[in-house]
Amino acid sequence: MSDDLSAALHDLAADHRTPPPVPGAEIRRRAVLRRRRRRTAVAGGALVTAAVAVTVTVGLLSGSDSRPDRTPAPVATQGHRKVVATLDLDRHRMTVDGRTLPVSAGSAQHPTPTGRMTVTAVHREKRMPAGDTGLGGEYDLKLPWVVELRTPEGRANYLVALTYDEKAPGTRDITRGWIGLRTDDARWLHDRLEPGDVIMVRAG
């Protein structure tokens, strides 16, 4: 009786056995593909995380006090702007729209370059390195109303408010090549100039 029951059960199992939908080799191939897709997804997620981290870092660094408050002009178009101001180094005077502004330029040891200077950026406030101020290695200055310039030789120069010596503009040349103005004049000029404008600097 027991042998008959066992045989019947075996026959029943054989009748209802479902063959695998695909061969074993195909199942292994699909398993390999799934593993590769998982590795690719993990790697892609790591790249996205790294890109987000870099973007956040750059954004934080760009929030410094030297960030321009007006967008720099494309280099290709800067040379086509007209002269909006002239500077006479010998007379310590800058003329803009009929208004004369007293200036303090570079000393004999650090003369202000002459020629066409192009405005490249305009800063509400900018930290100037101690080596550029001439006030000693430990003194970085944070100056307001800074206009960044490009000299004919392609170097950077600046129009700044001489907050540390308001009496120098118009009387004495005390900078290391910068063009210094009184604070009120520097603010007025800062609000008028745009990247791409040209200032003509002459000696006499």
Q: Which CATH number do you get for residue 89?
A: 2.40.440.10
Summary mean pLDDT of the chain: 76
Q: Cα(70)–Cα(64) distance, rounded to whole angstroms?
A: 15
pLDDT at position 35 is 72
The range of the structural domain enclosing residue 55 comes to: 2-60
User: Does residue 21 register a pLDDT over 90?
Assistant: no
Inside any domain, residue 70: no
Within this chain, do residues 51 and 89 fall inside the same structural domain, yes or no? no
- In this structure, the answer to whether residues 41 and 102 fall within a common structural domain is no
The proportion of the chain whose per-residue pLDDT surpasses 70, expressed as a percent, equals: 56
Q: Are residues 88 and 149 in the same domain?
A: yes
Both 127 and 55 in one domain: the answer is no
pLDDT of residue 67: 64
Assess whether pLDDT exceeds 70 at residue 201.
Answer: yes
Query: Whole-angstrom Cα distance, residue 174 to residue 111?
Result: 10
Query: Mind listing the pLDDT tens digit for each residue in 56-114?
Result: 333 333 334 556 776 565 544 444 578 999 999 999 999 999 999 999 999 999 999 99
Same domain, 31 and 105: no
The reply to whether 108 and 144 lie within a common domain is yes
Q: Kindly state the tokens that stand for 62.
A: 């760009």
- Whether the pLDDT of residue 139 is over 80: the answer is no
Residue 154 has pLDDT above 90, yes or no: yes
Amino acid identity at 143: L
68 part of a folded domain: no
- Which residues, listed in sequence order, are joined to residue 117 by a DSSP beta bridge? 199
Do residues 91 and 119 both lie within one domain? yes
How far, in Å, are 59, 63, 70, 157, 158 from residue 55 at the CA level?
6, 13, 22, 30, 30
Residue 48 pLDDT exceeds 50: no
Per-residue pLDDT at 152 exceeds 60 = yes
Task: Pick the more confident residue, 49 or 7.
Answer: 7
> Of 12, 33, 60, at which residue does a domain stop?
60
Same-domain check for residues 108 and 178: yes
Q: How many domains does the chain have?
A: 2
Does 101 share its domain with 187?
A: yes
Tell whether 182 and 113 lie within a shared domain: yes
In a domain, 166, yes or no: yes
Tokens for 158, please give them.
């600046």
Task: Please give the order of strands across the beta sheet that includes 99-102.
Answer: 99-102, 93-96, 83-88, 198-202, 115-128, 141-150, 156-161, 179-181
Q: Provide the pLDDT for residue 79.
A: 47
Q: Please give the model's pTM, rounded to 2 decimal places.
A: 0.61
Residue 168 has what pLDDT? 96
Q: What is the mean pLDDT of residues 32-40?
A: 67
Q: Which of 21, 36, 60 is the last residue of a domain?
A: 60
Please state which of the ranges 15-24, 42-51, 68-77, 136-145 shows the lowest mean pLDDT: 42-51
